[in-house]
Amino acid sequence: MRRYGGSVLARGGAASALGILLAAAPARAHEEDRQFWVVQAVTARIDPATSIAAELSERARAAAVGEDQLLGRITLTRRLLPGVDLALGVSAATSAGIGEIRPEQAIILTHGPLSLRSRLEERMIDGVPETVLRLRERVLLQLPLDDAARWTLHASGEAFFQLNRGRPGDVTGFNTLRTQIGARHALTPALALTLLYQRQQAVRPGRADGVSHMPVVLLAWTF
């Protein structure tokens, strides 16, 4: 059996501890909404150290949080060193008639079941005079749950930081916390289904935070 941390007990303890941490959020007044996300992704390996991925995300949302959103992303990932990947990509999104283009750069550090990702985005949004720089810091835990690793626990936490003002009234700094918990199931060697619960808290100075709850369905093909 594949084991991390020396035993099944240690693995379960790590998952439980992370689950408690991910469930924790600032104790602030908030307004809640419900969403539903469906994500489809295809990844193709170019060579042993390089892959390219395409993703389409359909997000059903209430009008109060921007209405439904459609997001597409293409990412090229290159292994620089064992456990160190560089990812370059671009995404495009549209919601309520407002479009956005985001060039993206990320560095990903992986050790066993744990990975850390730092992603910088340059957000070019319709009607916003300046390009908005956003930094995203994510910690991801993926633990195999069976001998064949067909079932995998997925738990992550991600913090979003706005680095500059796109408009005079924008607020910079930490503004969003996204947490996920769920499982991935390998249906075939090339096809996997992931089901997640995602909680996203938008920090809004001077008024109640916005908290979104959503199931996320991800279908991923790998070639």
Q: What is the pLDDT of residue 31?
A: 85
- What domains sit in the chain, N to C, each tagged with a CATH number? 38-222 (2.40.160.40)
The span from the CA of 120 to the CA of 160, in Å, is 10
Nearest partner of 53 among 80, 89, 102, judged by Cα: 89
Please give the chain's pLDDT, 223 residues, in tens.
Answer: 444 544 454 455 455 545 545 554 555 567 899 999 999 999 999 999 999 999 999 999 988 788 999 999 999 999 999 999 999 999 999 999 999 999 999 999 999 999 999 999 999 999 999 999 999 999 999 999 999 889 999 999 999 999 999 998 888 999 999 999 999 999 999 999 999 999 999 998 888 899 999 999 999 999 9
The number of CA neighbours under 13 Å toward the Cβ of 117 is: 22
The span from the CA of 199 to the CA of 187, in Å, is 26
Q: List Cβ neighbours of 217 (8 Å cut-off, separation of 6 or more).
A: 37, 38, 39, 193, 194, 195, 196
The span from the CA of 24 to the CA of 177, in Å, is 10
Bridge pairing between strands 151-162 and 173-186: antiparallel
| Under 8 Å between Cβ of 185 and 160 | no
| Under 8 Å between Cβ of 88 and 75 | yes
Nearest partner of 98 among 139, 133, 129, 69, judged by Cα: 69
